[in-house]
């Protein structure tokens, strides 16, 4: 069914569908002007607010299954999700013509990592071999912004590394592929990645110019979520992790398509990496995430120090990436499911007959439940 016809049909049966656009850490209706101040990353790691569908539609959906499931299905499995994404792009370009944040590149021995602020809180990344003038784009949600960066760098796009199927990460794949026809599009086949040409499995390697990436299969947020590790050792620098919606600064993505046990296994993949690894996440959620971390682990001094720095950065609309995996282990509660102090703060104890990994999954599940309903300040 065509999208317009579907919208008419939904209205005809009284669903009253009202898509809402989330800007930064806030939600505003499409018909409003520029957003006011506010907080709360309700649609964490999906590009869609938790209140995408109005109350009347929620009541109808609940008769069959949860309203959240209805919203998520509309976003990921119908053309309404794509239309919502297109409107996000259009509004973000109008309201944030220079991007939602100011970001600066990091360069090590001729390999430059450039954060590209897109939509309202997303980051795409352009990784450029400045000697060979070839580039890799990670999650190019807004193809116009990524293309402008390519032209500024004078680089040719050789590959797209897509972490998962959500439109706010994959929406620009096909446009860039049409413009750069030899470009390869990488991702996991379990996700419906737009324009996918090179399906990946766990620990597959990707080479572009002097850049060496390894892909890791990390389901939980989606069934086919992947993260990408750029090997920096051969270049005399740290490795860099492009984590999509698996891990953020002091946070993790919602478990839309996986259990807590599945997500824990994926997060443990991140924990296993070197402490010096730079973390480049898919969203600017640092301030809200650190406030939540303060609620569940108020005595964490590492969190307090990081929060002060993040507040200074965000006060000037500056990007808070990258952090390091070593830092995240100190204050990111979703990477601290082993920590006794966190268990005490959550009021959880391991049962006598409970496996340690299962207990840690229960800790993660409780953390994610609390974060899902957290309203910030």
Q: What are the residue numbers of the active site?
A: 164, 166, 168-169, 221, 245, 283
Q: Which of 45, 62, 50, 56 is nearest to 21 (CA)?
A: 50
Helix (H, G, I), strand (E, B) or coil at 342: helix
For residue 149, give both structure tokens: 């960066």
Residue among 290, 312, 302 at smallest CA distance from 376: 290
Q: Comparing C-alpha atoms, which of 105, 212, 221 is closest to residue 159?
A: 212
Cβ–Cβ < 8 Å for 216, 269: yes
128 beta partners: 112, 135
Please, is 155 exposed, middle or buried when counting C-beta atoms within 10 Å of its C-beta (0-12, 13-18, 19+)? buried
List phi, psi (to 5°) of 237: -140, -175
* Radius of gyration in angstroms for the set of CA atoms belonging to the chain, rounded to a whole number: 20
How far apart, in whole angstroms, are the C-alpha atoms of residue 18 and residue 83?
12
For residues 141 and 102, what is the distance between their CA atoms, to the nearest angstrom?
Answer: 17
Query: Taking a C-beta distance cutoff of 8 angstroms, is the pair 177, 195 a contact?
Result: yes
């Amino acid at each position: 069914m065509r999208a317009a016809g579907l919208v008419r049909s939904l209205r005809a049966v009284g669903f009253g569908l009202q898509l809402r656009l989330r800007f930064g850490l806030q939600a505003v209706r499409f018909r409003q002007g520029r957003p006011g101040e506010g907080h709360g990353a309700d649609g964490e790691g999906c590009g869609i607010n938790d209140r995408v569908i109005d109350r009347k539609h929620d009541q109808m959906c609940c008769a069959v299954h949860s309203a959240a499931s209805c919203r998520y299905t509309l976003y990921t499995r119908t053309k309404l999700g794509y239309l919502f994404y297109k409107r996000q792009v259009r509004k973000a370009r109008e309201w944030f013509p220079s991007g939602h944040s100011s970001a600066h590149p990091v360069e090590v021995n001729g390999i430059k990592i450039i954060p590209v602020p897109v939509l309202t809180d997303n980051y795409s990344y352009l990784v450029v071999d400045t000697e060979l003038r070839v580039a890799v784009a990670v999650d190019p949600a807004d193809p116009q912004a990524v293309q402008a960066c390519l032209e500024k760098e004078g680089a040719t796009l050789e590959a797209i590394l897509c972490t998962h199927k959500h439109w706010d990460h994959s929406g620009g794949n096909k446009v860039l592929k049409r413009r750069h026809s030899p470009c390869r599009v990488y991702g996991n086949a379990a996700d419906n990645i737009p324009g996918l040409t090179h399906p990946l499995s766990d620990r597959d390697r990707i080479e572009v110019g002097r850049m060496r990436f390894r892909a890791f299969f990390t389901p939980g947020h989606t069934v086919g979520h992947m993260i990408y590790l750029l090997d920096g050792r051969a270049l005399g620098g740290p490795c860099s992790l492009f984590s999509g919606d698996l891990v953020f600064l002091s946070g993790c993505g919602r478990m839309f398509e996986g259990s807590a046990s599945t997500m824990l296994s994926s997060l443990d993949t991140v924990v296993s990496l070197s402490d010096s690894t730079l973390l480049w996440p898919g969203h600017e959620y640092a301030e809200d995430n650190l406030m939540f971390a303060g609620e569940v682990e108020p005595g964490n001094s590492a969190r307090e120090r990081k929060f002060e720095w993040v507040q200074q950065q965000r006060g000037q609309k500056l990007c808070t990436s990258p952090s390091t995996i070593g830092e995240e282990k100190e204050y990111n509660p979703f990477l601290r499911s082993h920590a006794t102090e966190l268990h005490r703060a959550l009021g959880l104890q391991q049962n006598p007959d409970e496996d340690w990994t299962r207990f840690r999954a229960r800790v993660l599940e409780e953390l994610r439940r609390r974060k899902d309903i957290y309203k910030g300040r």
